[in-house]
Amino acid sequence: MIGRKMRIKFLWLILSGILFLAACQLINKEDADNRLLAKVHNKTLYLSEMDGMFPDGTTSQDSSLIIKAFAERWVREALLLYEAEKNIPSDLNIDKLVRDYRASLVRHNYEKIMVEQLLDSTVTTDELLEFYNRYQEQYQLEGPIVRCYFVKIPLSAPGLDGFRSLWNNSAKQESYLQLVDYCAQNANAHLLEEDAWYRIEDIAAEFPSGVISTTNVSKREVAHRDGDYQYFLKIFEIKNQNEIAPLSFVEGEIRKAILRNRKIKLLEDKKEEMYELELRRNNIQIYTQ
């Protein structure tokens, strides 16, 4: 009987020991996962604050490097914050700034949600044209632009003689289509949309230095060759600096302006709608008199 009791007591001691060791290991693991990394005056950085900063598959060596780099940056930021806190002007209301900043974030987030849900992002051709005609004086060119064809071909490209024939006859639909196909396969750069406008400086950047510039674009055709490439430029129309930009050239800017104005009106209308609704519900009181 005594032997049985002793065995039971012995088993309990073993079980208690196992549980104690397991608890110690868990505590040690938690301590390791949340160990102190750095301290600056009364500010502390723990490993747990870096949760989610280690990509999958990160080795222990890489983790150590990430932790060290983060701690170094954190210490410098903490020192700056410590000094800033010591030098807060007596008339600076931090609590009010925090409240204002929070209100701004909350308002901005709600406005973003309203715009995503309610703003019509469709801009018609008529709207573009109306805006352009009304405000075209705001779209004066800062530099010359051209409508043109441009091709840059390696000297090693096959069939250059055939290319020249296509280039010279590009006004014909069949030749133009063959030209586009040839350039897609062989050219390093090509612009073959007759109605599109391009900045001269963007075209000049494709040529060797000095061949094309904003001051020598009067030539309607330019052919140039260096040790690696042949360059072909055919200009259809030029708009000079300070002229009004064509609608197609500034269409993207105008579209953004229309949507920006539409967004402002949407938010103003929603604010007014909210105001009128809450006023009718007697949820607004103004004490200015």
What would the pLDDT profile of 24-62 be if each residue is shown by its tens digit?
A: 444 444 455 678 999 999 889 999 888 888 888 888 888
Tokens 């008529």 correspond to what residue?
Answer: 126
Q: Tokens 């105008």 belong to which residue?
A: 254
Please identify which residue in the block is written with the tokens 């069939």. 159
Find the helix packing angle between 173-186 and 160-168, rounded to 10°: 140
pLDDT value of position 1: 47
Residue 3's pLDDT band, with cuts at 50, 70 and 90, is low
In this predicted structure, which of 2-16, 196-210, 221-235 has the lowest mean pLDDT?
Answer: 2-16
Task: Please say whether the beta carbons of 140 and 244 come within 8 A.
Answer: yes
Check residues 177 and 2 and name the one with the higher pLDDT: 177
Task: Give the rounded distance of the alpha carbon of 104 from its chain centre.
Answer: 22
Stated pTM of the model: 0.69
Q: Are 219 and 235 in contact (CB under 8 A)?
A: yes
Type and span of the H or E element at 231: strand 229-239
| 239 or 21, which is more confident | 239
| Cα distance between residue 267 and residue 107, in whole Å | 11
Q: Which DSSP helix (H) or strand (E) runs through 152?
A: strand 145-154
Q: Is 211 exposed, middle or buried (0-12, 13-18, 19+ CB in 10 A)?
A: middle
Query: What residues are paired with 268 via a beta bridge?
Result: none
Task: State yes or no: pLDDT of 95 exceeds 80.
Answer: yes
Residue-wise pLDDT tens digits, 213-258 = 877 777 688 999 999 999 999 999 999 999 999 999 999 999 999 9
